[in-house]
Amino acid sequence: MVIAQLISAEHTKVLADILYEHASHLYSSAGLGVLGLSALVILSFREKIAQSQNEWVFRLIRPLLLCAVILNLALEVNIAKEQNWQFSWLVALPLLIEIWCGYYLIKSKHLNVMLQDWQKSR
C-alpha cells in the first residue's frame, strides 16, 4: 500500500527524494539509462537488422553497455564521495552490481559467441 501511494503521481517527488539525494543524480541516472536502452533496442530489432545486412550495428552493443557501466560506476563513486565515503547500502549494492556487470561484459565467452553469431547471421 505504501509503495502504491509513493508511486502515485502526487508523490513522485517524495519517491525521487528518497532514492536520490540530489536531483542531478536522478537526471544523470536517466541520461545514462539511454545507453542501456539503445543496446536493448538493437537487441530487439536484431532480426530486422540482420535482414537489412547492417550487422555492424551488433558491434555497438558491448561498447554501449560497457560505457553505461563505467559511467554508472563513476556516478556511484561520486555519490559515495559526496557522502564522505560512509557506508550505505544504497551505494554499495549498485557498486557491486556494476562491477559484476562490467566483469561479465569483459570476460563472457558466451556473449562473444552470441555477438559473433549475430554478425554472421547472413
Q: In this predicted model, what pLDDT tens digit does every residue of 50-93 receive, in sequence order?
A: 778 777 877 888 888 888 889 989 988 988 888 888 888 878 89
DSSP string, 48-114: HHHHTT-GGGGGGHHHHHHHHHHHHHHHHHHHHHHTTT---HHHHHHHHHHHHHHHHHHH-HHHHHH
Under 8 Å CB-to-CB from 6, ≥6 apart: which residues? Answer: 14, 15, 18
Average pLDDT taken over every residue of the chain: 78
Q: Which three cell numbers stand for residue 45?
A: 530489432
- pLDDT given at position 119: 67
Taken as a whole, the chain contains a residue count of 122
- Contact partners, residue 59, CB within 8 Å, separation at least 6: 115, 119
Number of domains in the chain: 1
Match 556516478 to its residue by C-alpha cell. Answer: 75
Higher pLDDT residue, 10 or 26? 26
Non-local (6+) Cβ contacts of 49 within 8 A are: 42, 55, 57, 58
Q: What is the pLDDT of residue 15?
A: 63
Interatomic CA distance for residues 99 and 104, integer angstroms: 9
Domain range for residue 13? 2-119
